[in-house]
Amino acid sequence: MQVFKIERLGHQGDGIAPGPVFAPMTLPDEEVSGSLDGDRLADIRVLTPSPERVSPPCRHFKSCGGCQLQHASDALVAEWKVEMVKQALDAHGLSTHFRPIITSPAQSRRRAVFSARRNRKSALAGFHARASNQVIATPNCKLVDRALLAGLRVSERLAELCASRRNELNVTVTLSDGGLDVSAAGGPDADRSKLVEMAGLAERFDLARLTWNNEIIVTRRPPIHSFAGIEIVPPPSAFLQATKEGETALRDAVQEVVSGAKSIIDLFAGCGTFALPLAAQARVHAVEASHDMVQTLNKGWRNGNDLRQVTSETRDLFRNPVRADELSYLDACVIDPPRAGARAQVHELARASIARIAYVSCNPRTFARDAAALIDAGYELDWVQVVDQFRWSTHVELASSFTLTSA
């Protein structure tokens, strides 16, 4: 057994001692012992616990791979997440004002992807075990909304009914205003009798909607979501912000950045999380790669009250970014790309001279890269608001404000 002093937390949430040696579930300043397996420490004993060490609130934490940071105080996790963004910016020689982090409460995740496996006698649903492909049951998960936990039983019954023993089911369960919206993928095609049984299962569990391999089996009630009072019905498994609190925090930040603008473009618009509420104040053009999500957004706008004009476009913004000349008539831009960021689109934005840009990101590294390109083009990064809607995980989400100071 060797003794190590943990110096910092790495990007995956592991404690890191000089070497580097990676020690899962340890914290900075802790002395730990363990046996080295390559650059990872195994059989870890914490000899001097950090004052920031807390009892994990969830009893699945030790075995479940869903959360990485339940052994750390909220204050430490908050500081670490903000630090991740500061470091990413610093790598490009950038810094800015950071607003206090906004963290979603426990049991507020309204969407989860459960894994389900059929075994010889029955089935099991939950999350993957830590660093493993094995599915473990997580009936007392403290991360997801309590109502979502019923989705575990639905996932197990679906696996029993239709999954092969070779393949795992991925079951996306979303809590909508109409109840649970369940979409399972990874199973074999279902014949007619299985479809009838699935419809019965939706009835028994009072689901709003059930989808199997992208085919809607039954919609018993529309799985409605409300974006600041504007109702939409998303396609199965569509992107939504992970918690209502996170969505509100991001929307408030975005609205602040673009307030006063009369014409706004929303890039990577999804089902209209930002575009639809912004239409209460401005004309909005929404651009998104998924045709189904664009249709959802359009329908939400048609059913909304007192909204200005919303136009939309299905477009791949990686291959075919909105060009600078198409952007130049706009007052403000909202951009919320996936983890890869928006290199090509930011290249066009940098040449377009839009006064205000609200950039929402789920990846500090690509955000910092894109921020550097905007700053080179004459923008100032006014502030960053870190929003933690992936509590206890290593995910970091943020909203930010850019203002054009020189063209």
Ligand X SMILES: C[S@@+](CC[C@H](N)C(=O)[O-])C[C@H]1O[C@@H](n2cnc3c(N)ncnc32)[C@H](O)[C@@H]1O
Strands 397-404 and 379-388: antiparallel
Q: Restricting to residues 361-400, name those near ligand X by CB under 6 A.
A: 362
Which residue number, 112 or 163, has a Cβ lying nearer to ligand X? 112
Q: Work out whether 316 is an interface residue with ligand X (CB under 6 A).
A: yes
Q: Work out whether 323 is an interface residue with ligand X (CB under 6 A).
A: no
Report the C-alpha gap between 344 and 317 in whole angstroms. 8
Provide, rounded to whole angstroms, the least separation between the CB of residue 338 and ligand X. 5
Q: Return the residue matching tokens 């479809």.
A: 195
Q: Work out whether 348 is an interface residue with ligand X (CB under 6 A).
A: no
Q: Which residue is nearest to ligand X (CB)?
A: 270
- Only one of the segments 182-190, 313-321, 364-372, 399-407 lies at the binding site for ligand X (rule: CB under 6 A); that segment is 313-321
- Only one of the segments 12-20, 64-72, 235-243, 373-381 lies at the binding site for ligand X (rule: CB under 6 A); that segment is 235-243
Which residue number, 14 or 288, has a Cβ lying nearer to ligand X? 288
Q: Work out whether 269 is an interface residue with ligand X (CB under 6 A).
A: yes
Provide, rounded to whole angstroms, the least separation between the CB of residue 366 and ligand X. 12
| Among 348, 405, 341, residue whose Cα is nearest residue 379 | 405
DSSP 185-254: ESSPPP-HHHHHHHHHHHHHTT-SEEEETTEEEEESS---EEETTEEE-PPTT----S-HHHHHHHHHHH
DSSP 323: P
Which residues, in sequence order, are CB contacts of 313 under 8 Å at separation 6+?
Answer: 285, 286, 287, 288, 294
What values do phi and psi take at 398, rounded to 5?
A: -155, 160
Q: How far is CA 62 from the centre of its chain?
A: 23
| Number of other CB atoms surrounding residue 26 within 10 Å | 26
Which residue number, 202 or 334, has a Cβ lying nearer to ligand X? 334
Which residue number, 97 or 291, has a Cβ lying nearer to ligand X? 291
Q: Work out whether 268 is an interface residue with ligand X (CB under 6 A).
A: yes
Torsion of CA 369, 375, 379, 384, to 10 degrees: 50
Among 8, 239, 373, 404, binds ligand X (CB under 6 A): 239
Which residue number, 56 or 246, has a Cβ lying nearer to ligand X? 246
Provide, rounded to whole angstroms, the least separation between the CB of residue 335 and ligand X. 9
Q: Is 296 within 8 Å of 272 (Cβ atoms)? A: yes
Q: Work out whether 114 is an interface residue with ligand X (CB under 6 A).
A: no
Listed in order, strand segments (DSSP E) in 49-131 are: 97-103, 111-118, 123-128
| Number of other CB atoms surrounding residue 243 within 10 Å | 24
Which residue number, 154 or 261, has a Cβ lying nearer to ligand X? 261
Q: Work out whether 236 is an interface residue with ligand X (CB under 6 A).
A: no
Q: Work out whether 313 is an interface residue with ligand X (CB under 6 A).
A: no
Q: Return the residue matching tokens 């831009």.
A: 333
- Only one of the segments 19-27, 157-165, 283-291, 295-303 lies at the binding site for ligand X (rule: CB under 6 A); that segment is 283-291
Report the C-alpha gap between 371 and 91 in whole angstroms. 12
Choosing from 58, 141, 162, 362, the catalytic residue is 362
Q: Restricting to residues 176-205, name those near ligand X by CB under 6 A.
A: none
In the numeric block, which tokens belong to residue 21?
């040696």
- Only one of the segments 49-57, 79-87, 179-187, 315-323 lies at the binding site for ligand X (rule: CB under 6 A); that segment is 315-323
Among 104, 237, 241, 366, binds ligand X (CB under 6 A): 241
Number of residues that bind ligand X (CB under 6 A): 19
Q: Work out whether 317 is an interface residue with ligand X (CB under 6 A).
A: yes
Q: Work out whether 13 is an interface residue with ligand X (CB under 6 A).
A: no
Listed in order, strand segments (DSSP E) in 315-394 are: 332-335, 356-361, 379-388
Which residues are annotated as catalytic? Answer: 362
Chain contacts with ligand X (rule: CB under 6 A): 239-241, 268-270, 273-274, 288-290, 293, 316-318, 336-338, 362
